[in-house]
């Protein structure tokens, strides 16, 4: 068994532990932010952490109404251009806390008057010490090069940050995420069997919309780094705006399909894929019976055995991203094994990547 697979299985307890140990920290941060209102937020990250930041952008803007931007680290690290960071909230996301460019951007923002937050798995890292406030992912050491448990841990920290900014994100709802992830893990044997179908897959598209847009990026990254599949990532809207022309019969397409506002535009894409004859694999849950009932298609949907929806008053799909990425992680780990690859040691990669 790969370390990657083992770390995927650890995620329910990590989510519970992170919520338990970071909730008080979030409350203190909320008191500070109440005294210092935020007008705009900038996120800075690389790799898997950048995918988590994509999620953070959607979550923060949907739930707080505060504009959020993703930083381009090269503006600071290569061009050395000074930016007007005063009155900004700048959030750096890094599993190791030692990403050179991420830390440099945070340092310059802090010097220019921004309030800074770090999200990291390493309490003694440069990032944790540099930031004015740090959220710690309580994942323990992540040994596989392919990040899994730290990604979902970062997403949990974004929920806590959103609550600290005054959004109606309730702890009672967040606590259910670990239960839903445990439900997704029950699909492990089924997904291991499904991986055989994609043994010779060389290219694919991964599609998500809204809060699950980040999962399209993260699933594609896992397919690229562990299975050496050329995986493009799109929102359903962006795929329809041109790139769908590259798809043909039997082309693999992986789609995240929660209930809520993103389902209707996803259906429009599914109609197109069916016309083309592309092979669409849906990841969904019981809260979206229309997706779950697509049984007559060549590939059965992956249905998480849970109804992932609460009366949050914000969005039906608010809490789906963490449980939804778990079947994708399992599929990437299983496909690597089917291909005879080691997902823990992808070629040309190391656990900590430092770039400028």
SS3 assignment, position 161 = helix
More confident: 311 or 210: 210
Task: Give me the mean pLDDT over the 2-25 stretch.
Answer: 96
State which fold the 183-338 domain adopts: Rossmann fold (3.40.50)
* Options 3.90.1560.10, 3.40.50.10490, 3.40.50.620, 3.40.50.300; CATH of 3-169: 3.40.50.10490
Residue 277, phi-psi category: left (phi > 0), alpha (psi -120 to 50), beta (remainder): left
List of residues 6+ apart from 300 with CB closer than 8 A: none
Neighbours of 35 (CB within 10 A): 6
Q: Does 183-338 match 3-169 at the fold level?
A: yes
The pLDDT value given to residue 247: 92
Give the whole-angstrom CA distance, residue 96 versus residue 94.
6
Give the whole-angstrom CA distance, residue 265 versus residue 170.
28
Question: Would the pLDDT of 313 be above 80?
Answer: no
178: exposed, middle or buried (C-beta count within 10 Å: 0-12, 13-18, 19+)? buried
Q: What is the pLDDT of residues 235-252, one digit of tens each?
A: 999 998 989 989 999 999
The pLDDT value given to residue 295: 63
Q: What is the pLDDT of residues 19-41, one digit of tens each?
A: 999 999 999 999 999 998 899 99
Residue 181, phi-psi category: left (phi > 0), alpha (psi -120 to 50), beta (remainder): alpha
Q: What is the pTM of this model?
A: 0.94
What is the DSSP code string of 184-220? HHTTHHHHHHHGGGGTT--EEEEE--GGGHHHHHHHH
Distances (CA, A) of 302 to 96, 149, 169, 280, 295: 32, 21, 27, 11, 10
What is the DSSP code string of 66-127? --EEE--THHHHTS------TTEEEEEEESSS--HHHHHHHHHHHHTT-EEEEEES-TTSHH
Q: Assign 124 a pLDDT band (cuts: 50, 70, 90).
A: very high
What does the domain layout of the chain look like in residue ranges? 3-169, 183-338
Work out whether strand 279-285 and strand 252-256 pair parallel, antiparallel, or are unpaired.
parallel
* Of 189, 153, 163, the residue nearest 321 (C-alpha): 153
What is the rounded radius of gyration, in angstroms, for the C-alpha atoms of the chain? 20
Q: Assign 154 a pLDDT band (cuts: 50, 70, 90).
A: very high
């Amino acid at each position: 068994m790969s370390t990657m697979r083992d770390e995927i299985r650890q995620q329910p307890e990590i989510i519970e532990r992170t919520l338990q140990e970071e909730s008080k920290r979030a409350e203190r941060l909320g008191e500070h932010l109440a005294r210092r209102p935020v007008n705009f937020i900038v996120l800075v990250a690389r790799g898997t952490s950048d995918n988590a930041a994509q999620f953070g952008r959607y979550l923060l803007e949907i739930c707080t109404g505060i504009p959020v931007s993703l930083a381009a680290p090269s503006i600071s690290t290569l061009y050395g251009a000074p930016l007007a960071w005063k009155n900004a909230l700048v959030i750096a996301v890094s599993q190791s806390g030692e990403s050179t460019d991420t830390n440099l951007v945070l340092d310059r923002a802090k010097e220019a008057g921004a309030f800074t937050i770090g999200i990291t798995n390493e309490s003694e890292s440069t990032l944790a010490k540099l930031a004015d406030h740090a959220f710690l992912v309580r994942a323990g050491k992540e040994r596989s090069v392919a990040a899994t448990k730290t990604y979902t841990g970062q997403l949990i920290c974004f929920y806590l940050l959103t609550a600290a900014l005054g959004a109606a994100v309730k702890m009672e709802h967040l606590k259910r995420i670990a239960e839903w992830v445990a439900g997704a893990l029950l699909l492990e044997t089924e997904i291991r069997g499904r991986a055989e179908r994609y043994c010779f897959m060389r290219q694919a598209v991964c599609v998500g919309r809204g809060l699950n847009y980040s999962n399209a990026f993260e699933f594609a990254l896992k397919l690229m780094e562990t299975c050496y599949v050329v995986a493009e990532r799109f929102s359903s809207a962006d795929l329809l705006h041109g790139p769908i022309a590259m798809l043909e019969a039997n082309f693999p397409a992986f789609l995240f399909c929660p209930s809520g506002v993103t389902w209707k535009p996803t259906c429009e894409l599914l109609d197109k894929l069916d016309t083309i004859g592309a092979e669409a694999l849906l990841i969904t849950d019981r809260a979206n019976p229309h997706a779950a009932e697509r049984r007559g298609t060549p590939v059965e949907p992956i249905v998480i055995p849970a109804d992932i929806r609460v009366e949050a008053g914000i969005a039906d799909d608010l809490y789906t991203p963490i449980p939804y990425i778990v079947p994708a992680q399992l599929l990437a780990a299983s496909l690597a094994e089917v291909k005879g690859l080691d997902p823990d040691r992808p070629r040309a990669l190391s656990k900590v990547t430092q770039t400028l």
